[in-house]
């Protein structure tokens, strides 16, 4: 009888903790979405709602954010700098920011690209150049490969600290613990409910290192949006699937005959230069690699001029003509 009472007490305690966790996660998500509402517009393609922001005039340029991110990452200087001479559109990738996750739960690059390409077409973008940062660089390459197969590749790519090659070893423990959907179902509510803000600030500092985090970045980036349960699950599934995807794409890079500008810091601890952009530059037929000495994973913040210059070089190589800048 004592053991039965103990088991019942334990079951009640676990149920109460689970209910409290779900309530806390829901409350934090509601606060995050109320504090950080959409900043752009929405387009629905194939039943998928996609959030985007467009600024400026000139040749079309699409910005594709990295893992755990949103289009807000580009709203801290890069978009404004480029909008003086390009029509710049930043999308929230499916499942991030304010874009709905893929209804199928598909984590493949091709599934994301299909939605983003359709969204770009629906809002009237004309064969845009692509800039992809980190995981977004893999999305940009998948978009270019898909476009090439359809005889409609983008005119040029700019890949910033891009994760594009299969890497040795394994991902960090958080990703390994969440390799399965069952594990994600258990662990993401705990992370969403209980991870403190100061931990998120440390994570951001590690992503920027050795460069400093710009003042006010966490507020503009809307860090709490990244810890919603659905967003965590999408991100974990995509990152865990990425190595196999770039392994499959690597043999196709040699056939991608379009101008590519690669920008990478030689102190990037997240996506190392020697594993990704250096070997990629030798596989692509028309790639130019710019290495920024001492730069970390986020050069589009710490080294903005170098990144915008790479966009201008890519446009020139593609024969595009940016709008003249206002005096």
Question: Per-residue pLDDT tens for 146-155?
Answer: 988 887 899 9
Residue ranges in the chain whose pLDDT is less than 50: 327
* Residue 4 within any structural domain of the chain: no
SS3 287: strand
Q: 140-156: buried (b, 16+ CB within 10 Å) or exposed (e) per residue?
A: bbbbbbbbbeeeebbbb
* Residue 83 within any structural domain of the chain: yes
Q: What residues form DSSP beta bridges with 50?
A: 43
Nearest residue to 293 (alpha-carbon basis) of 210, 206, 215, 207: 210
Q: What is the pLDDT of residue 6?
A: 64
* Residue 19 within any structural domain of the chain: no
CATH number of the domain where residue 52 is located: 3.40.50.1820
* Residue 109 within any structural domain of the chain: yes
* Residue 258 within any structural domain of the chain: yes
* Residue 126 within any structural domain of the chain: yes
Whether 245 and 164 have beta carbons less than 8 Å apart is answered as no
* Residue 9 within any structural domain of the chain: no
Whether 22 and 189 have beta carbons less than 8 Å apart is answered as yes
Total domains in the chain come to 1
Half-sphere exposure of 34 (CA within 13 A, CB side): 6
Helices 181-194, 229-249: crossing angle, 10 deg rounding: 130
Claim: this prediction has a pTM higher than 0.85? yes
Which range marks the domain in which residue 85 is found? Answer: 37-166+242-317
* Residue 217 within any structural domain of the chain: no
């Amino acid at each position: 009888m004592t053991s039965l009472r103990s088991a019942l007490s334990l079951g009640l305690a676990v149920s109460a903790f689970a209910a409290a966790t779900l309530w806390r996660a829901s409350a934090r998500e509601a606060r995050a979405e109320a504090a950080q509402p959409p900043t752009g517009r929405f387009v629905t393609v194939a039943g998928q709602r996609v959030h985007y922001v467009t600024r400026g005039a000139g040749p079309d340029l699409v910005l594709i954010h990295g893992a755990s991110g949103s289009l807000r990452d580009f709203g801290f200087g890069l978009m404004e700098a480029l909008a003086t001479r390009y029509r710049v559109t930043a999308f929230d990738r499916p499942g991030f920011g304010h874009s709905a996750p893929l209804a199928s739960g598909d984590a493949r690059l091709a599934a994301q690209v299909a939605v983003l390409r359709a969204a770009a077409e629906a809002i009237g973008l004309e064969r845009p150049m692509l800039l992809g940062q980190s995981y977004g660089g893999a999305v940009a390459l998948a978009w270019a490969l898909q476009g090439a197969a359809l005889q409609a590749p983008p005119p040029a790519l700019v890949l910033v600290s891009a994760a594009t090659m299969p890497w040795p070893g394994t991902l960090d423990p958080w990703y390994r613990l969440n390799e399965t959907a069952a594990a994600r179902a258990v662990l993401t509510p705990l992370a969403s409910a209980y991870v403190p803000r100061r931990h998120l600030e440390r994570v951001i500092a590690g992503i920027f290192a050795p460069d400093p985090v710009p003042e006010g970045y966490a507020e503009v980036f809307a860090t709490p949006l990244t810890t919603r349960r659905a967003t965590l699950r999408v991100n974990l599934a995509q990152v865990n699937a990425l190595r196999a995807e770039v392994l499959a794409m690597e043999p196709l890079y040699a056939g991608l005959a379009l101008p590519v500008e690669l920008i990478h810091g030689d102190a990037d601890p997240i996506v190392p230069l020697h594993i990704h952009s250096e070997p990629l530059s030798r596989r692509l037929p028309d790639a130019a690699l710019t290495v920024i000495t001492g730069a970390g994973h986020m050069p589009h913040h710490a080294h903005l001029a170098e990144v915008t210059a790479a966009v201008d070089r890519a446009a020139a190589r593609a024969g595009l003509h940016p709008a003249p800048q206002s005096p």
